[in-house]
């Protein structure tokens, strides 16, 4: 089975909306588009180039597909553009009637079943770029195998977030990390099963702790 990999830019407070420019996605009155622009360095370019050099296919939500399709086909003499224009692209949309960007195919029917079927097919790993709404569906149905997060040293406070309300409690294993000269952390995490919890509490709680727990329980009943 091939992996489904999330490759996304995200702020310290979890926002992933419109990293590349204000015109990308102003949904919800978002005015901070382009927050990643001033942080790019040579190391980040090298990491991106290495990622693009390996075989992969794309799984995209409708909005990200439209952003990419209106940009990358018009970029010439650029290896990233060449790769994105040539790879197979699977597009999730309830409103598009066609996907005309080179090697693009609309995913029809039950989205979750279709993505599971894609993962079971032979071929290269599948990357998701952007596509915040689609990611929420993938999270709810535990379809993601790996996260490649580019974590930028900024906070925004509002906007579309990587991990939304439907995120399942899970554990992850850090398998690689790098830090750019501008403070961007590029971290790769594999999924590692269910979230396991524990406690640092005393085995025999004292009276103050017992009273605190009782107060908390009473507050939660209100």
Does pLDDT of 5 surpass 80?
yes
Q: How far apart are the first and last CA of the chain?
A: 48
User: What is the pTM (predicted TM-score) of this model?
Assistant: 0.91
**Over 90: is that where the pLDDT of 146 sits?**
yes
- Quick check: 170 and 193 in contact, CB under 8 A? yes
User: Which pLDDT does position 144 carry in this prediction?
Assistant: 97
pLDDT tens for 147-195 read 999 999 999 999 999 999 889 999 999 999 999 999 999 999 999 999 9
pLDDT, residue 182, reads: 98
Residue-wise pLDDT for 81-103, tens only, equals: 999 999 999 999 989 989 999 99
- pLDDT tens-place string over residues 12-48: 999 999 999 999 999 999 999 999 999 999 999 999 9
Is residue 37 a contact partner of residue 105, using CB atoms and an 8 Å limit? no
Q: Is the pLDDT of residue 222 over 80?
A: no
Nearest to 1 by CA among 119, 123, 141: 119
- pLDDT tier at 57, thresholds 50, 70, 90: very high
Residue 108: what pLDDT? 84
pLDDT at site 13:
97
The full set of domains in the chain, from first to last, is 4-197 (3.40.430.10)
* 65-75 mean pLDDT: 95
Which residue shows structure tokens 């085995």? 203
DSSP 163: S
Query: What is the pLDDT, as a whole number, of residue 114?
Result: 95
Q: Give yes or no for a contact between 82 and 53, defined as CB atoms under 8 angstroms apart.
A: no
> Residue 109 has what pLDDT?
85
Average pLDDT, the chain: 94
Residue 54 tokens, joined? 């390996």
The pLDDT assigned to 220 comes to 87
Check: CB of residue 26 under 8 Å from CB of residue 33: yes
Q: Find the mean pLDDT for residues 70-74.
A: 95
Looking at residue 166, its pLDDT comes to 80
Contacts of 66 (CB under 8 A, 6+ apart): none
């Amino acid at each position: 089975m091939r992996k489904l990999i999330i490759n996304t830019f995200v702020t310290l407070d979890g926002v992933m909306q419109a990293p590349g420019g204000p015109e990308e996605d102003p949904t919800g009155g978002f005015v901070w588009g382009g927050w990643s622009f001033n942080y790019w360095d040579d190391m980040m370019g090298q990491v991106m180039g290495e990622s693009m050099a390996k075989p992969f296919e794309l799984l995209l939500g409708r909005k990200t597909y439209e952003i990419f399709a209106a940009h990358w086909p018009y970029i010439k003499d650029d290896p990233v553009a060449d790769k994105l224009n040539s790879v197979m692209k699977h597009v999730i949309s309830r409103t598009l009637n066609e996907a005309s960007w080179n090697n693009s195919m609309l995913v029809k029917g039950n989205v979750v079943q279709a993505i599971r079927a894609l993962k079971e097919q032979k071929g290269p790993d599948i990357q998701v770029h952007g596509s915040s709404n689609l990611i929420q569906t993938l999270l709810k149905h535990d379809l993601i195998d790996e996260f490649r997060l580019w974590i930028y040293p900024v906070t925004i406070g509002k906007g579309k977030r990587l991990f939304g309300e439907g995120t399942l409690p899970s554990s992850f294993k850090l398998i690689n990390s790098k830090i750019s000269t501008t403070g961007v952390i590029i971290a790769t995490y594999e999924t590692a099963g269910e979230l396991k919890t524990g406690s640092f509490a005393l085995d025999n709680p004292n009276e103050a702790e017992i009273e605190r727990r009782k107060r908390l329980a009473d507050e939660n009943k209100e």
